[in-house]
């Protein structure tokens, strides 16, 4: 890692992958041990403009992107292959009352679903393919013309094995990413990866190592051998239907996800069908994901977005929470995720994660400002007057709650401080009586409970002062800034 926490090298045995960055923290270069060098170009708005994969003097692939003013990719030029294949025209479609597509290029129903919204059969010119699901809505089997496939998952929802026409492949994982493919219990291929999800650098196998050359979305364009020569190339339609030239058995293709050999791609929480250009299951978030089409892939923006988890909406919420927690704990929660293997599904370079980090810092600043303002307001108040104004409201509250005379109407946020004279972080005495002595800030307690409540609040405030103060907030802001600069 660099001094700015950017990944600089990945080494396994004698092989080392080297990464370089510019002063803005953007990845500018990637050097493979087979001599292939990848370079990246950006515009002044930090938008990716070019990717070049070169083994001097040969250009393996060169990509040039053009963006509109809103940042949408509107043009892609690819030097050594078609930039994008044209998908099949869809001329006949229909949907049912549940917004499930029931016809795809068919005059009659050719898509059927179960009660959970999972696709159970699809009929096209080649015949009918059926899909079987378990109680967790995971795809467990596919049966179709010249095809029989089955899949097994672990308790974390990771696919641990697949069987395609009697050929079984097992998987070992490092977090959310595949570390090794297995033939029985013996690794048949292992992977050298970056710290980002779905970014393999090298596939090591007995037939010779393969090195991944990818585009802006992590889609595999070409595989090079140990000498830096391209031995397999891929061309994709916008929604991922892929044409391969070459003999590699590599399955990590469109956006770096696994093509399972049965016409379906494994996107972790959901299965994706590139021919249908949609997921086979509903979005687990439902309409809360932000798209009325519960089967849509990346809001139908496949040239700009990708969905490593199959939960694009939930993924943003998860990344936001991770960023917020990592900022609050000075990165401790990130280390815990490393130990539990959960960090692989967090995009630390994404907008949602960064928003979570800076929202946490903003929350701290707001809380400190609120504390300062309330203390300043309370300082100028006559305490006896405030207590007198609160008394009838407290009495009315006790009466409404049916409390006895031996109880106390306790201010959850004290008016001025705690018993014993200590101040409080958020005194409410400077606010009008209808606010500081409203039911939201009152609680009926026994005298013993009252003393314990103030003791607990003092302990909580002591912890809060230690965790949130101008110094710690400044440190968090610097760490968040450093994390952002470490992204490619």
61: its two tokens: 């692939």
- Domain of residue 270 covers 88-300
- Based on the domain organization, do 323 and 276 belong to the same domain? no
- Based on the domain organization, do 114 and 217 belong to the same domain? yes
Report the distance separating Cα 308 and Cα 110, nearest Å.
28
Residue 270 inside a domain? The answer is: yes
Report the distance separating Cα 465 and Cα 468, nearest Å.
5
- Based on the domain organization, do 234 and 331 belong to the same domain? no
The closest of 355, 351, 345, 303 to 324, measured between CA atoms, is 355
- Based on the domain organization, do 323 and 390 belong to the same domain? yes
Domain termination site, one of 251, 276, 300: 300
- State the pLDDT at residue 4: 58
- State the pLDDT at residue 255: 96
- State the pLDDT at residue 342: 64
Residue 230 and residue 224 in contact, taking contact as beta carbons nearer than 8 Å: yes
- Based on the domain organization, do 263 and 398 belong to the same domain? no
Residue 385 inside a domain? The answer is: yes
- State the pLDDT at residue 362: 92
- Based on the domain organization, do 321 and 282 belong to the same domain? no
Residue 381 and residue 432 in contact, taking contact as beta carbons nearer than 8 Å: no
- Based on the domain organization, do 283 and 369 belong to the same domain? no
- Based on the domain organization, do 287 and 364 belong to the same domain? no
- State the pLDDT at residue 318: 78
As for how many domains the chain has, the answer is: 2
Residue 255 inside a domain? The answer is: yes
Domain termination site, one of 243, 275, 300: 300
Quote the pTM value: 0.73
Domain termination site, one of 254, 276, 300: 300
Residue 75 inside a domain? The answer is: no
pLDDT in tens, the chain (488 residues): 555 567 899 999 999 999 999 988 889 999 999 999 999 999 988 889 999 999 999 999 999 999 998 888 999 999 988 777 888 888 899 999 888 999 999 999 999 999 999 999 999 999 999 999 999 999 999 999 999 999 999 998 999 999 999 999 999 999 899 999 999 999 999 999 998 889 999 999 998 999 999 999 999 999 999 999 999 999 999 999 999 999 999 999 999 999 988 899 999 999 999 999 999 999 887 877 778 889 999 989 999 889 998 887 666 777 888 889 999 888 888 878 776 666 666 777 777 888 889 999 999 999 999 999 999 998 889 989 999 999 999 999 998 988 888 899 999 999 988 766 567 889 999 999 999 999 999 999 998 999 898 888 888 888 888 888 888 889 888 888 877 766 65
- Based on the domain organization, do 95 and 210 belong to the same domain? yes
Residue 209 inside a domain? The answer is: yes
- Based on the domain organization, do 285 and 187 belong to the same domain? yes
Report the distance separating Cα 393 and Cα 375, nearest Å.
22
- State the pLDDT at residue 44: 86
Residue 415 inside a domain? The answer is: yes
Report the distance separating Cα 132 and Cα 330, nearest Å.
44
- State the pLDDT at residue 103: 96
Residue that is written with structure tokens 């539990």 in the block? 340
- Based on the domain organization, do 126 and 219 belong to the same domain? yes
Residue 83 inside a domain? The answer is: no
Report the distance separating Cα 123 and Cα 144, nearest Å.
9
What does R_g of the chain's alpha carbons equal in angstroms?
A: 29
Residue 40 and residue 50 in contact, taking contact as beta carbons nearer than 8 Å: yes
- State the pLDDT at residue 461: 87
Residue 34 inside a domain? The answer is: no
Report the distance separating Cα 35 and Cα 54, nearest Å.
8
- Based on the domain organization, do 296 and 322 belong to the same domain? no
- State the pLDDT at residue 348: 78
């Amino acid at each position: 890692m660099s001094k700015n926490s950017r990944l600089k090298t990945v080494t396994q045995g004698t092989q080392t992958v080297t990464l370089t960055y510019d002063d803005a923290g953007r990845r500018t270069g990637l050097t493979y041990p087979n001599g292939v060098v990848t370079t990246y170009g950006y515009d002044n708005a930090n938008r990716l403009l070019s990717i070049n994969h070169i083994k001097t003097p040969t250009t393996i692939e060169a990509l040039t992107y053009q963006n509109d003013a809103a940042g949408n990719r509107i043009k892609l030029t690819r030097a050594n292959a078609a930039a994008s294949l044209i998908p099949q025209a869809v001329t006949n479609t229909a949907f049912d009352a549940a917004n499930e597509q029931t016809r795809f290029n068919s005059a009659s129903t050719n898509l059927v679903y179960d009660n959970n919204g999972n696709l159970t059969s699809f009929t096209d010119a080649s015949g009918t393919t059926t899909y079987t699901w378990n109680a967790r809505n995971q795809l467990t089997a596919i049966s179709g013309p010249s095809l029989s496939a089955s899949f097994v998952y672990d308790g974390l929802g990771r696919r641990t094995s697949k069987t395609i026409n009697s050929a079984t492949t097992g998987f070992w994982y490092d977090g959310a990413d595949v570390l090794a493919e297995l033939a029985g219990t013996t690794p048949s291929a292992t992977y050298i990866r970056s710290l980002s999800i779905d970014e393999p650098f090298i596939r090591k196998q007995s037939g010779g190592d393969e090195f991944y050359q990818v585009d802006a979305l992590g889609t595999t364009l070409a595989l090079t051998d140990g000498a830096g020569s391209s031995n397999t190339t891929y061309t994709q339609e916008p929604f991922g239907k892929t044409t391969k030239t070459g003999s590699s058995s590599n399955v990590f293709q469109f956006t770096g996800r696994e093509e399972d050999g049965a016409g379906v791609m494994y996107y972790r929480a959901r299965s994706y069908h590139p021919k249908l250009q949609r997921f086979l299951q509903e979005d687990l978030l439902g309409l809360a994901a932000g798209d009325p089409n519960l089967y849509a892939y990346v809001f139908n923006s496949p040239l700009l977005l990708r969905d490593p988890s199959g939960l694009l909406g939930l993924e943003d919420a998860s990344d936001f929470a991770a960023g917020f927690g990592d900022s609050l704990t000075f990165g401790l929660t990130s280390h815990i995720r490393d130990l539990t293997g959960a960090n692989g599904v967090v995009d630390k370079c994404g907008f949602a994660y960064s928003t979570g980090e800076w929202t946490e810092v903003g929350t701290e600043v707001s809380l400190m400002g609120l504390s300062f303002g309330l203390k300043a307001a309370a300082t100028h108040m006559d305490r006896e007057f405030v207590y007198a104004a609160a008394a009838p409201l407290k009495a009315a509250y006790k009466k409404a709650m049916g409390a006895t005379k031996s109880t106390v109407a306790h201010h959850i946020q004290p008016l001025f401080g705690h018993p014993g004279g200590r101040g409080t972080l958020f005194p409410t005495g400077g606010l009008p009586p209808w606010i500081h002595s409203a039911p939201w800030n009152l609680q009926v307690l026994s005298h013993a409970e009252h003393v314990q409540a103030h003791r607990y609040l003092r302990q909580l405030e002591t912890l809060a002062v230690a965790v949130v103060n101008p110094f710690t907030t400044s440190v968090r802001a610097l760490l968040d800034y450093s994390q952002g600069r470490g992204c490619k």
